[in-house]
């Protein structure tokens, strides 16, 4: 067991480009990490020298530190996480910490040392630190070569005002901005592959995401609702979803299927869903809707049909996957951890009462004429009232006063 206190250095990139409001973004990321790392033995998290340092309890083992770093790397706003140690500002002690850190870096053949001092009250400069600590590592690991360009392991040494931080294992983060720094959005969330990825992309841009799931209940089973809950459990591990409103949509779809021209059913379903989602978004204080649509992927996602559905609402509609093909979306869902859940069969409102030949080039005047015969506004009020709410762990989410 190492004699040094374990730390995780959290590096960020985009936040560092901010101006006078940079501290606001840093504090939001710090608060998110504090909440999401509660299952781990974290003593405190401090801002130091343009990054965040997670201090772990004395005696914390390597596996626990590794698991904490792995989770932190998936939190939006984090560009990179490095596992290492806090030690005294003494070259011999720093060299010993570097040897311990490199022992936990995995298999490697080449290495280099990247040292820097953030305070000139430490007499030894960066170049001399590189040489002294590099020599100690070469002695401790005979047969491993020093390689300045693209080494297998880079040992970082950060000398700050009262301590030094030494690390060797680094892993890339997801980048972006911390959740809670870009307002709130309402995401149409199905149990399929696409919409969880779209939601995650908005969370990665700093938005608090509220899901709106349209269930085929009572015309279908509630299986899709359980899958959406499983998806939300994956997303909440990194604070990417705040709550889900589940809307029992089956009866309204049945009424549309009985009354509307069959080719227009899908567009009319989507318009009603958008209207309901917009009303829920307003209750949540959200500024936009988000969907998982990709241009041309299915009948409802043609340019003409998208135009018809957008016309149902005044709120902006974001489509982060609009230019992404299915294989790219699947790859992202696999990395996110939602693909296997979304691959399970479950009847939902998207497949309920599907016409044989859906319209792919709907015209808005024709759609509005068909819609005029339906009690759309009454349905919207009833569906919003019937929505069931489930909350998830999102440190940045603050429910609107009076909302369930």
pTM of the model: 0.92
R_g of the chain, CA atoms, integer Å: 26
State pLDDT tens for residues 100-134: 999 999 899 999 999 999 877 899 999 999 999 99
- Ligand-binding annotation for 253, yes or no, is no
- Ligand-binding annotation for 361, yes or no, is no
State pLDDT tens for residues 70-83: 999 999 999 999 99
Whether residue 220 has pLDDT greater than 60: yes
- Ligand-binding annotation for 214, yes or no, is yes
Residue 228 and residue 244 in contact, taking contact as beta carbons nearer than 8 Å: yes
State pLDDT tens for residues 267-296: 999 999 999 999 999 999 999 999 999 998
Q: Residue range 247-259: average pLDDT? A: 93
- Ligand-binding annotation for 63, yes or no, is no
- Ligand-binding annotation for 292, yes or no, is yes
CATH of 182-389, one of 3.40.109.10, 3.40.50.720, 3.40.50.300, 3.40.50.620: 3.40.50.620
pLDDT at 351: 62
- Ligand-binding annotation for 189, yes or no, is yes
Verify cis geometry, omega within 30 degrees of 0, for the bond prior to 46. Answer: no
User: What are the DSSP E strand ranges found in 163-254?
Assistant: 164-172, 184-188, 208-215, 243-248
Determine how β-strand 317-318 pairs with β-strand 289-290.
parallel
State pLDDT tens for residues 12-43: 988 877 778 889 999 999 999 999 999 999 99
Whether residue 402 has pLDDT greater than 50: no
Is the torsion defined by CA of 169, 175, 178, 179 positive or negative? negative
Mark residue 176 as left, alpha or beta (left: phi above 0; alpha: psi -120 to 50; beta: remaining): left
pLDDT interval class at 1 (50, 70, 90): low
- Ligand-binding annotation for 213, yes or no, is yes
CATH of 3-170, one of 3.30.1280.10, 3.30.2130.30, 2.40.37.10, 3.40.1190.20: 3.30.2130.30
Name 327's Cβ contacts closer than 8 Å, sequence gap at least 6: none
What are the residue ranges spanned by the domains of the chain? 3-170, 182-389
226 in helix, strand or coil? helix
What is the C-alpha to C-alpha distance for residues 311 and 363, in angstroms, rounded to an integer? 11
Q: Residue range 156-170: average pLDDT? A: 93
312 in helix, strand or coil? coil
């Amino acid at each position: 067991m190492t004699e040094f206190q374990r730390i995780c250095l959290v590096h960020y990139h985009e936040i560092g480009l901010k101006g006078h409001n940079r501290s606001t973004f840093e504090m939001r990321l710090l608060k998110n990490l504090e909440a999401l790392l509660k299952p781990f033995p974290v003593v405190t998290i401090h801002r130091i020298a343009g990054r965040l340092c997670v201090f772990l309890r004395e005696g914390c083992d390597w596996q626990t530190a590794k698991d904490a770093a792995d989770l932190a790397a998936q939190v939006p706003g984090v560009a990179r996480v490095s596992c290492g140690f806090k030690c005294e500002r003494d070259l011999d002690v720093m060299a010993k910490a570097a040897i311990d850190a490199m022992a936990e870096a995995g298999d490697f053949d080449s290495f280099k040392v990247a040292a820097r001092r953030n305070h000139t009250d430490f007499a030894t400069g960066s170049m001399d630190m590189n040489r002294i600590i590099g020599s100690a590592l070469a002695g401790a690991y005979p047969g491993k070569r020093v390689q300045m360009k693209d080494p297998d392991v880079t040992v970082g040494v950060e000398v700050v005002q009262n301590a030094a931080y030494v690390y060797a294992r680094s892993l890339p983060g997801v980048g972006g901005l911390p959740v809670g720094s870009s307002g709130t959005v309402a995401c149409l969330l199905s149990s399929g592959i696409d919409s969880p990825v779209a939601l995650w992309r908005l969370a990665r841009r700093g938005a608090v995401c509220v899901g709106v799931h349209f269930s085929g209940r009572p015309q279908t089973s509630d299986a899709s609702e359980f899958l959406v809950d499983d998806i939300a459990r994956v997303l909440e591990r990194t604070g990417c979803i705040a709550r889900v409103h589940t809307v029992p949509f089956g009866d309204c779809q049945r009424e549309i299927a009985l009354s509307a021209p069959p080719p227009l059913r899908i567009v009319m379903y989507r318009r009603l869903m958008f209207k309901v989602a917009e009303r829920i978004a307003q209750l949540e204080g959200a500024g936009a809707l988000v969907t998982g649509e990709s241009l041309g992927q299915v009948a409802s996602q043609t340019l003409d049909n998208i135009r018809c559905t957008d016309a149902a609402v005044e709120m902006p509609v974001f489509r982060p996957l609009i230019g992404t093909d299915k294989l790219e979306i699947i790859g992202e869902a696999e990395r996110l951890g939602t693909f296997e859940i979304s691959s399970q069969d479950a009847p939902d409102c998207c497949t309920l009462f599907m016409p044989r030949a859906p319209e792919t080039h709907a015209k808005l005047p024709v759609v509005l004429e068909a819609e005029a015969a339906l009690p759309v506004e009454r349905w919207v009020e009833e569906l919003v009232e019937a929505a069931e709410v489930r909350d998830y762990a999102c440190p940045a989410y603050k429910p609107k006063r009076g909302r369930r």
